[in-house]
Amino acid sequence: MLVDLTAKNITGKEASSLLGEVNITVNKNLIPFDKEPAGVTSGIRVGTPAVTTRGFKEPQMKRIARFINDAVEFKDDKDKLEKIKRDVLALAGKFPLYKKVVRW
């Protein structure tokens, strides 16, 4: 999914770094008619394979969207970013990549 960040006053490069700090991995990405260079971009790409592998469905995707929006909105508020990070980790913890490790 491609997200245009033009109205949010943040570049794709900045958003990618910021979201990485709260444990959400995205890529900076050019948007159609982007005015920013390829190394900066005005958008981000959210890959769905990583979340569907965990078993996320629509309710969890809505939460991820809120996390992304809130992180961008409160990019200068360290306390809010720390809470978002805790919430992201809690959500991911409910959907582990590996259900059970079998030991031989």
In the structure encoding, which two tokens stand for residue 24, read together? 């959400």
**Contact predicate 2/29, CB 8 Å:** yes
pLDDT tens digits, 38-67 = 999 999 999 888 888 899 999 999 999 999
- CATH number for the domain running over 2-93: 3.90.1150.10
pLDDT tens digits, 67-95 = 999 999 999 999 999 999 999 999 999 99
Residue 43: which H helix or E strand, with range? strand 43-45
Q: Can you give the pLDDT at residue 71?
A: 98
Mean pLDDT, rounded, for 8-21: 97
Q: Please state, as a whole number, how many other Cβ atoms lie within 10 Å of the Cβ of residue 28.
A: 21
- Domain ranges in the chain are 2-93
Q: Can you give the pLDDT at residue 99?
A: 72
Q: What's this model's pTM, rounded to 2 decimal places?
A: 0.89
